[in-house]
Structure 1
Amino acid sequence: MGRGKHRKSTKLVFVCVGLLGAALIADLLWASTFPYKSSSSSTLAFNSNYPHPSSNSSAKEEVTDKKDGVHGRILSKTFADLPGPQLKWDRMSESPVPRLDGAAIQIKDQLFVFAGYGTIDLVHSHVDVYNFTSNTWSARFDMPKEMAHSHLGMVTDGRYIYIVTGQYGPQCRGPTAHTFVLDTKTKKWQDMPPLPVPRYAPATQLWRGRLHVMGGSKENRYTPGVDHWSIAVKDGRVLDKEWRTEMPIPRGGPHRACVVVDDRLYVIGGQEGDFMAKPNSPIFKCSRRNEVVYSDVYMLDDEMKWKVLPPMPKPDSHIEFAWAVVNNSIVIAGGTTEKHPETKKMILVGEIFQFHLDTMKWAVVGKLPYRVKTTLVGFWDGWLYFTSGQRDRGPDDPTPKKVIGEMWRTKLSLPLS
């Protein structure tokens, strides 16, 4: 009888151990599948006012290079940096305010800089203007109260600036479908017909007399949208009563460059997924989700069909206002790339990429003063300028830290491709 009880108790112990082991394995699989489950780091990628949990210990904050147990590779903290020439940069007059996820439009020798985060809890509701001729911040004026504060779609015809949709408010609040047009000579604003549905950071351009809005993130801020709408505009006026549905973009998502050159429309880079509002948070507190950054390049042709072009040298996102057209090429400065394969931290981009429009080839033509995302770029009289964004923690740490308002320029001499 005693032996029987002993066998049963021994069997029970083995069953319990087996169940515990299965639970541990399941937990590990869950953690590896959802590396951003925790929301504790959600504000780190927005503002340095929210310190790293280990910031009290410099030894803990330092990310040690480790070997990949499968391939034996050394995984550097500067993962995905590409070689490129060093450029001489001049620091210019700093922007009146720091900006992250702002927007910028160049008209002749003026750069109109809109909105953006100052901190995760503060968004700007005004426009600052930089004059490239005098190299000074020369003007400031308010935006409409109903206008979005970040993740905007924006383009100009040389006088009027068309603004569509975007996020209204700080943290990870919802998007608005409102659209506006600004007369840059009179500084007057007018409403336009709202988008069919709100979007975050859609690719936006003027092409063949129509304002095109493509992709972006859907209303939950995370799900990629592939919708494509257009509306006829001329001299700041809308000629249609409603938006027209166009050919969907092959891959959805926000934070892409969208450029028209020689009657061709290009959509470059971007990502799928983004921060989301934490469920039931009264302030829509941001919570990190998995993001996939890509290097895709698409072109819309004469038949209104999308063509796939050679990809960027590496995946790049947060570049919607980080480009300029120089000598028959598109130049893109900074951004974000794939997460570090071990730490899973966001990695910023410090390269300047050039896309030759005749050969359809990419090159790295220089390095920025530091890695930085959401740069606001302009090009004037041979000088490449950028301002604002979020920079890295230093030469050996490409993760995001400080939101900046600095303005830099470099003499950029690119041969005709």
Structure 2
Amino acid sequence: MGRASAEKPKSTKFVLLVCIGLLGFALIADLLWASSSSSAYLSVPYFLQDSDNIIVPHLQNNTHTKGEKPIQDKKDSVPQRVLSATFADLPAPELEWEKMVTAPVPRLDGAAIQIKNLLYVFAGYGTIDYVHSHVDIYNFTDNTWGGRFDMPKEMAHSHLGMATDGRYIYVVTGQYGPQCRGPTARNFVLDTETKQWRDIPPLPVPRYAPATQLWKGRLHVMGGSKENRYTPGLEHWSLAVKDDKALEKEWRNEIPIPRGGPHRACVVVDDRLYVIGGQEGDFMAKPGSPIFKCSRRNEVVYGDVYMLDDEMKWKVLPPMPKPDSHIEFAWKIVNNSIVIVGGTTDKHPITKKMTLVGEVFQFNVHTLKWSVVGKLPYRVKTTLVGFWNGWLYFTSGQRDRGPDDPAPKKVLGEMWRTKLNL
């Protein structure tokens, strides 16, 4: 009896150790399975993680300067890039981008209108303390810049509304001066053949970056930010125009837009008026600042799409693949589609920094469906877009800090193009 009682504790300890070992093995196996399963969710565009970064495979980069060969990834390595823990870049086809001749000056919040093979590029910030007051012209036929001429001294320098009938360019309201200075209600029309400017009646009140377009013989201006640069405007006005003249002395009130705010694309296709994307809120002048120094406020970016037709009632259409703003001159009509390049989306949920967009979006106006049709060489906002002979061009704007950081950094004048088949 004494011998048996002495061996019992040893047997019990052995069984206990075996049980602990089996339990530990099961826990390790469970953790390995969970980690392998959760990795499948990293490709979901809108998935947010608790950590600051999402690591994803780096796809082959086909971006190259004209005359250079694309850089090929090494076969034996799988490089990765780190994306901010916010809306990840959406899956999109790789496009082969070609770098063209850089614009004479860099521009942020500039404006552009294409007439045939010429892209007229207006105004914009050079830096936060300096604004341009001239027009540069890019010729798509020979891919050169030239033909610079001055704007009227009273004309706004950024946040312009703009539209054309194919010869005359109508320039509406906007911010006058650098930093976050006030808006002007002054409006002008340019004859692109003679390079002469003419006044047209001012808006009832000034606006920043309103949606602007010619439709049914009238110049339509809607939304934008109010005089404090922050509050969204809902007002919608129109003015009858022909050639370079206004046919009325005052603007007419129209049906208000359902959601106000600046930095939206405004497009006419098949005699329908579309207003796409935008935001509510913007930077404001710091109270008491003698230079109207810009001060960040909360902005809400959205991907809403609205349409007006003969019924003159706003219709809500399918939203963009993700919220997008700063796209007022970043669009072109290609066949039966509206193509939109870059922009800004929701801010980083942790750092609160602005997040730039690096995709090219397509909206088919017949099917009312959105697609992501390509990637840009980098993320960029307020870019200026043209389309000629099958080539999609973009120039200027503010690009990201690099592949791993979608926050804005350098203001550019670069010109890029890619073949686009839709």
**Equivalent residue letter for 1:402:** K
Instruction: Tell me, in whole angstroms, the C-alpha distance in 1 between the residues paired with 2:97 and 2:85.
Output: 22
Residue 164 (str. 1) matches residue 172 (str. 2): yes
Judge conservation of contact 1:269–1:295 (CA < 8 Å) in 2.
Answer: yes
Instruction: Provide the C-alpha distance between the structure 2 equivalents of 1:93 and 1:229, rounded to a whole number of angstroms.
Output: 39
Q: Report if aligned partners of 2:49, 2:85 keep a CA contact under 8 Å in 1.
A: no
Residue matched to 1:40: none
Q: 1:184 to 1:365 in 2, by over 3 A?
A: same
Aligned length: 347
Instruction: Give yes or no for the alignment of 1:288 onto 2:296.
Output: yes
Name the CA distance, whole Å, in 2 between partners of 1:79 and 1:134: 41
The aligned counterpart of 1:15 is none
User: Alpha-carbon deviations, 1:2-59, whole Å to 9, x = none?
Assistant: xxxxxxxxxxxxxxxxxxxxxxxxxxxxxxxxxxxxxxxxxxxxxxxxxxxxxxxxxx
CA deviations 1:257-306 (Å, max 9, x no partner) are: 00000100000000000000000000000000000000000001211110
Larger radius of gyration: 2
The residue that corresponds to 1:182 in the other structure is 190
Aligned letter for 2:145?
W
Partner residue of 1:252?
260
Tell me whether 1:193 sits opposite 2:201 in the alignment: yes
1:148-189 CA distance string (max 9 Å, x none): 000000000000000000000000000000000000000000
1:333 aligns with 341
Tell me the C-alpha RMSD between the 2 structures.
1.4
- Provide the rounded CA distance (Å) in 2 between the counterparts of 1:145 and 1:190: 12
Secondary structure of residue in 2 paired with 1:167: coil
Tell me by how many angstroms 1:340 deviates: 1.0
Determine which of 358, 361, 370 is the counterpart of 2:369.
361
- Report deviation, 1:138: 2.2
Query: Does 2:326 align with 1:318?
Result: yes
Cα distance, 1:78 vs. partner?
6.1
Q: Partner of 1:251: helix, strand, or coil?
A: coil
Aligned amino acid, residue 317 of structure 2: L
Deviation string, structure 1 residues 390-411 (Cα, Å, up to 9, x no partner): 0000000000000000000000
Q: Alpha-carbon deviations, 1:37-90, whole Å to 9, x = none?
A: xxxxxxxxxxxxxxxxxxxxxxxxxxxxx9528xx9999416321010110011
Alignment partner of 1:373 is 2:355: no
Which residue identity does 1:324 align to in structure 2?
K
CA distance in 2, matches of 1:189, 1:343: 45
Q: Which runs of 5+ in 1 are unaligned?
A: 1-65
CA contact (8 A) 1:78 1:398 kept: no
Q: 1:92: Cα distance to partner?
A: 0.5
> Within the alignment, does 1:77 sit opposite 2:84 as a pair?
yes
1:68 aligns with 2:75: no
* Aligned residues of 2:386 and 2:394 also touching (Cα < 8 A): yes
The equivalences for 1:9-408 within 5 A come to 68=50, 76-77=83-84, 79-80=86-87, 81-408=89-416
Q: Give the Å deviation of 1:372.
A: 0.2
**5+ residue gaps, structure 2:** 1-47, 56-81
For residues 404 and 209 of structure 1, the distance between their equivalents in structure 2, rounded to whole angstroms, comes to 36
Q: Do the aligned residues in 2 keep the contact of 1:78 with 1:396 (CA within 8 Å)?
A: no
Tell me the distance in 2 between the aligned counterparts of 1:258 and 1:190.
Answer: 23
Contact residue 83 and residue 404 of structure 2 kept, 8 A: no
TM-score, with normalisation over the residues of structure 2?
Answer: 0.81
Q: Distance in 1 between matches of 2:382 and 2:243?
A: 29
In the alignment, residue 356 of structure 1 is paired with which amino acid? N
Looking at structure 1, the residues matched to 86 and 50 of structure 2 have their Cα atoms a distance apart, in angstroms, of 13
Output the CA distance in 1 between the equivalents of 2:241 and 2:329.
22
Q: Secondary structure at the match of 2:415?
A: strand
1:78 touches 1:397 (CA, 8 Å); kept in 2?
no
